[in-house]
Structure 1
């Protein structure tokens, strides 16, 4: 397979073989529910996911934090099952089940033996379609979420990350914390979360994916049974690429904390999911801060001993993205560390990367992509993101080919675009803002 496979919403049934010898099938049920499966020969387990194309960026102003709140509540019971019943269903077969809330989607997933797939489809489907969101459970879970937020607030790296996103996407929903804030969670009413549930958790907005020991026709029958009374409907259109965030403005955010180490996140807006340069970005990221052989790791940790942890990362969304560097160091090293980061970014924009670095980065990326697909969870997730994201399935062979075609000149061109954008710096720890201002505006 040399090209991505489009997943049009008006195509009720599709099937194709992947380069790894698996078969992917996709069916749009009359209710608008989309079902995708990847049969993996010799697998004895299956990963199942129910995806809803709603994340924290989709919340109305009075609902901030509702998406994550709802994720918690769906485990608290349905008309037919208590919270204990749900837990026992998976524990009694040695299965795993959980959920994740992101900025653009929510996923409820499980991994079970092949014989237990019907149970997983039924139980998670019951949670997604028929949760009662009881008042008692709502009050209890509010306390749990406040504890979760407090735990995150005690992690300087988490605080720095949230401060970075808030500044990079100022005034835009992408800048909001996924879990809300203690203030928004305290004032959230059950009626607001219930409204969010009824608005978004509808059959034609739901995608069900499964990978491993799965038989597609049987899977479709099981999913159809979950949504048996749903009227016929077309799938909900995919997320639009608008509105995009305003261009980033250079900012320094300092959160004073009496910590032993200072956490730093420094970067800017990046590339969105549709950008054809994302394979180039993966190479740039690998060379600059993507591993122990990266320039930042070698210069900051191995040569100078200025930090224990330093890395770069590049999250992407349908209409925007970010590229940033994270590091943790002692307060005395902050200014020097920021200067080294800037020097390495300037070196990248001045001279690009060497052919040996290019080859090493390609090997790193291609190996990681290949190894990740040994896991049925990763395959299940790939299906869900393909369906809800850009609407096309990218095979491993296609992905590897895109990376292999990246040149050193491509990386240099992208570096001169990406690494010269206005810089946002978030610093959390025992630091003096005045001493950082000049350094933080450099580059």
Structure 2
């Protein structure tokens, strides 16, 4: 894999850049959950001789958009600017990793902002339910926490330690994707600078085995119950990943999906419902979620379990498969409409070690997949469901008993 990739768009007045390092939240040390996201925020608060105010003024004076975030697997610096301004802004993006300032007052300010964000998120029953599900799937392993971390851990992170970590950024293998029409001299400058980095490639942290416990609950004073059934599945490189995506689209994408049609339209059980497959470099989680009234929660759980058993015991129909395939084709088309979308896709594929034409290869495989293959994939990958619920205490007790009976 090259360190600098170009998506050439000759007529584009805009330049989009994505700089990716394998420095996501999965490398947060024990007791320092949220460190990588904290670092990502601090990187936009000055570099080299520019303090936080000067840095912001420089970027905003060009009308550019610059952000930095840490996901589960990667830390990504994203830039969007006028093509004519790239000669200044693109080197500035590299300076963020080569010469981060990480001033103590800016670290403390960013930490306060992240803790305020966590406080707001904890008012959301879906967030609380999802965090419990993370623990069921990954316990205290690398994927067992939200990238933003926890208040307790953020309070323990010293600015000095964050500064030390920031100095190591240019010692890791990096990928820079440029989309647009950058001057060849600027592209060559980027290649030369990144090539001068140490480019150390480190193996990711090992995941711990999936916990035996498969039920978790969090009390919340609401008039509804949120449920999430989660499965710890496979990494993005696995040949079964495409089969799993078809199942996810069949179950939970759009108003014509299986879960929406059965549980909302036919049974009237759910306010909100869907299914997600979260891409990871290792053990991606598949999550089915719904919210419903307290009085109908037992019925909703029973219907949820019925859909799980149906998926494993019966192949989906040819019509359902054709609909899921059509949705995937539509998603693929919609996800590459803009220059930013195409840059995001290429950066993600190459960062995960997949070929540039991975999406095209998957589309070619779709017509050859059968309902029987999908059923076998469901049997292999969705054998151990985990349930997380959020709601009033009385409802949680009843749901726990119902779950234990069903799983026994």
TM-score range, shorter-chain basis?
over 0.9
Which residue number corresponds to residue 141 of structure 1?
110
Query: Compared with structure 1, are the counterparts of its residues 105 and 156 closer, same or farther at alpha carbon in structure 2 (3 Å cutoff)?
Result: same
2:328 maps to 1:365 = yes
- Kindly state the Cα deviation for residue 413 of structure 1 after the two structures are TM-superposed: 0.6
2:14 maps to 1:45 = yes
- Kindly state the Cα deviation for residue 161 of structure 1 after the two structures are TM-superposed: 1.2
Contact 2:312–2:375 (Cα < 8 Å) also in 1 = yes
Which residue number corresponds to residue 271 of structure 2?
308
Query: Compared with structure 1, are the counterparts of its residues 408 and 391 closer, same or farther at alpha carbon in structure 2 (3 Å cutoff)?
Result: closer
Q: Partners of 1:88 and 1:261 in 2: how far apart?
A: 46
**Per-residue Cα deviation, 1:212-252 (whole angstroms, up to 9, x for no partner):** 3345x434323257559x46x4x333645x73431343421
Return the TM-score normalized by structure 2: 0.92
Which residue number corresponds to residue 187 of structure 2?
220
Q: Partners of 1:404 and 1:43 in 2: how far apart?
A: 35
1:2-401 equivalent positions in 2, closer than 5 A: 7=1, 26=2, 34-199=3-168, 201-214=169-182, 217-224=184-191, 230=196, 233=198, 235-237=199-201, 239=203, 243-401=206-364
Contact 1:45–1:114 (Cα < 8 Å) also in 2 = yes
Give the 3-state SS of the residue equivalent to 1:272 in structure 2: coil
**Per-residue Cα deviation, 1:15-60 (whole angstroms, up to 9, x for no partner):** xxxxxxxxxxx4xxxxxxx111211354332221121111111122
Contact 2:237–2:354 (Cα < 8 Å) also in 1 = no
- Kindly state the Cα deviation for residue 165 of structure 1 after the two structures are TM-superposed: 0.8
Contact 2:171–2:200 (Cα < 8 Å) also in 1 = no
Q: Partners of 2:186 and 2:295 in 1: how far apart?
A: 58
Q: Partners of 1:203 and 1:223 in 2: how far apart?
A: 16
Query: Compared with structure 1, are the counterparts of its residues 248 and 378 closer, same or farther at alpha carbon in structure 2 (3 Å cutoff)?
Result: farther
Structure 1 unaligned spans of 5+: 1-6, 8-25, 27-33
Contact 2:349–2:358 (Cα < 8 Å) also in 1 = no
1:397-412 equivalent positions in 2, closer than 5 A: 397-412=360-375
- Kindly state the Cα deviation for residue 374 of structure 1 after the two structures are TM-superposed: 1.0
Contact 1:96–1:112 (Cα < 8 Å) also in 2 = yes
Structure 2 unaligned spans of 5+: none
Higher relative contact order (CA 8 A, sep 6+): 1
2:393 maps to 1:414 = no
Query: Compared with structure 1, are the counterparts of its residues 299 and 365 closer, same or farther at alpha carbon in structure 2 (3 Å cutoff)?
Result: same
**Per-residue Cα deviation, 1:140-170 (whole angstroms, up to 9, x for no partner):** 2221111011111111111211111111111
Contact 1:270–1:321 (Cα < 8 Å) also in 2 = yes
Q: Partners of 1:248 and 1:134 in 2: how far apart?
A: 40
Greater mean deviation of Cα atoms: 80-89 or 324-333: 80-89
**Per-residue Cα deviation, 1:318-369 (whole angstroms, up to 9, x for no partner):** 2211111011222222221111111111111121211111111101001111
- Kindly state the Cα deviation for residue 383 of structure 1 after the two structures are TM-superposed: 2.4
